[in-house]
Amino acid sequence: MPALSPARVRLALLALALGGFAIGSTEFVAMGLLPNLAHDLLPGLYAHSREAANAQAGWLVSAYALGVVVGAPTIAAMAARFPRKKLLLVLVAAFTVGTIASAVLPSFGLVLAARFLAGLPHGAYFGVAALVAASLMGPGKRGKGVAIVLSGLTIANIVGVPSITYLGQVTSWRIAYLAVALIFALTFVAIAFLVPFQPGDAGATMRRELKAFARLQVWLALLIGAVGFGGFFAVYTYISPMVTEVARLGAIFVPLVLVVVGVGMTIGNLIGGWSADRNVMGSIFAYFGVFVVALTGLALTANTVAGLLAFTFLVGFGAAALSPAIQTRLMDVAGDSQTLAAAVNHAALNLGNSLGAFLGGVAIGAGLGYLSPSWFGLLLCVPGLGLAIASLLLQRRRGGGQLGEAPALA
C-alpha cells in the first residue's frame, strides 16, 4: 500500500470514527428513550407498573449486547482473511438494515429480535476498524489508534445520543432509530471513499484465530471486561428513570445528563488510550479504582443534582478509560489471532453490558429502586479487579516474557 499523506490518514480515521459514532448512537439511544419504548411496546404492563415496564424494556439493551457477544467472535474468526475495507462496508450495511428493522417492526418481541441482529456486527466492526487505525497510525500507537476509533462512540454520547433522544421525545422513538440508520448510511459512503484498501490476513484461518482461546491470559482479559464492565450498563441502562424518579428532574434533563456521561466517556477514552500505550495493566487498575469511586458516589448522592452530574461523569470516564486498556491487553496476549482479539473484546464488554442491564432490571423489578443498579455494578467490580490481579501475578510468575506467548490452558 503506498504511503498516505497525513491529511488522507486523518480523513480515513475520521470515517472509521464516524462508524463508532453511529454504533454509539444505535447502542445507547435506548437508554434515554427507555420509558418511551416501554410505553409504546408494553402498554398494558406500563399502565400497571412503570417500574416493571421499564425493567422489561431494558431487555432491548441486553438483546443488543448479546448480539455483540455472538457476532464478534463468529464474524471475526470467519472473516479474518477478507480485505478489511470490504468487510467494514458489509458490516456497516448490516448495521443499517438492523437499525431500520428496529425502527419499523411493530411488537416488543420483534423489536427485541431486531436489536439482537443489529448487535451482531458491532464487535467485528470495532475490531477490524481498530486494526486498520493501528496500521494507519504506525508502530507503538495501537492504544491511540483504538482510542481514535472508539472516540466516535464516546462523542456520540455527547452529541448523537442526547440529540437523538430529544428527537425521539418530541416525535417518537421510531423516528430516532431511523435517524441513526441515516448516520450508518453516511458512514458507508465515508468508508467507501476515504478508507484505503487494506488486505486481510492471508494466513488467517478460523482454526488459527480460535487458538487464542487456548491462552489463559486471553480468558483472564476477557473476563476482566465481561465482569468488571457490567457496572457501567447497570447504571446507564436506567439513567432516564434515575434522573426523573430519583433526582426528581423533568424528562428534559435526561439529554443533559447523557451529555455529561458522554463528556466523561470522551475524556476517559482519550486518556485511557494514551496511558494504555505506556502501562496497560497499570491503566486497568487505576481506572477500576475510578469506577469504584464513581459507582459508590452515584449510589449515595444521585438524589442531588450535583451528585448526579459529578458521578455520572465519573462513571462514563472510568468505563471509557478501561476499554482501550483492555483491548490493548487482549491484542498483547492473543499472539497471531489479532483480528479475533480486537473484536472479541467488544463481545466481552457487551457480555458485561448485558449482565449489568439484566441485573439492574431484576433489582428494579424486585422493588429495590433505581439506585440499586449502582450497588450491583459495584459488586461486579470486585471480581473484575480480582481477575486483573490474577492476570498480573500469572505474568510475573512466568517471568514477564512476551505477553503474546501467554501459557496455553492445560
In the Cβ-directed half-sphere of 28, how many Cα atoms lie within 13 Å? Answer: 32
Query: Would you place residue 175 in the very low, low, confident or very high pLDDT band (cuts 50, 70, 90)?
Result: very high
pLDDT recorded at residue 406: 40
pTM assigned to the model? 0.72
Highest mean pLDDT, choosing among 53-57, 265-269, 296-300, 371-375: 296-300
DSSP state string for 218-235? HHHHHHHHHHHTHHHHHH
Report the range of poorest mean pLDDT among 118-122, 136-140, 168-172, 251-255: 136-140
| pLDDT one-digit tens code per residue, 92-112 | 999 999 999 999 999 999 999
pLDDT recorded at residue 236: 80
Report the range of poorest mean pLDDT among 85-89, 226-230, 239-243, 320-324: 226-230
pLDDT recorded at residue 177: 94
Query: Would you place residue 338 in the very low, low, confident or very high pLDDT band (cuts 50, 70, 90)?
Result: low
Compute the average pLDDT of residues 266-291: 86
pLDDT recorded at residue 114: 95
Report the range of poorest mean pLDDT among 3-7, 16-20, 244-248: 3-7
Q: Please, where are the H alpha helices in 42-160?
A: 43-48, 50-57, 59-79, 84-104, 108-119, 122-137, 142-155
The grid coordinates listed for 89 are 462496508
Question: In this structure, which amino acid lies at residue 392?
Answer: L
> Is the confidence at residue 408, as pLDDT, over 60?
no
Question: In this structure, which amino acid lies at residue 55?
Answer: A
**Distance between CA atoms of residues 26 and 64, nearest Å:** 9
The grid coordinates listed for 23 are 454504533
pLDDT recorded at residue 115: 94
| pLDDT one-digit tens code per residue, 73-91 | 788 777 777 888 899 999 9
Distance of CA 232 to the CA centre of its chain: 10
Compute the average pLDDT of residues 395-402: 65
